[in-house]
Amino acid sequence: MAASELIADALTHTESGALVTVELLSGAARRMRLEVEGRPSPSPRRRSPGETATSGRGLLLAEAPAERWGAEPRGNGKALWCEFLVPADRGR
C-alpha cells in the first residue's frame, strides 16, 4: 500500500516518471527503506480530507504502516521515503 501511494503521488504531481528503490538497512533494528524519486513538486504535507473528499489521503496511507517517513531533495527533484521494521527471523 505504501509503495503504490508514493508512486502514484510521484506520477500524479510530477507529470513524469519515477525511480523506485527498495533497500534493506542493517543495524540494531533491521529496516526496509522504500524510496520514490521524482521531479520537483510541492513538499508532501498531511491533509485532513473530509469524508467525501476524493484526494488527500495518500500520505496518510503511506505513513500508517511505516515506522518513519520523510522527503529530501535529490538533484533536480526530491525523494519521498518510508521505512518499515523487518521482523526477526525466528525460524532459524
Q: How far is it, in rounded angstroms, from Cα 76 to Cα 61?
A: 26
Report which of 26, 30, 44 is spatially closest to residue 80, judged by C-alpha positions: 44
Percent over 90 (pLDDT), the chain: 13
Q: What pLDDT, in 10s, does the model give residues 29-53?
A: 889 999 988 876 556 666 676 777 6
pLDDT at 5 (0 to 100): 77
DSSP collapsed to 3 states, 25-77: ECCCCCEEEEEEEECCCCCCCCCCCCCCCCCCCHHHHHHCCCCEEEEEEECCE
Domain boundaries, the chain: 2-43+55-85
The amino acid at residue 89 is D
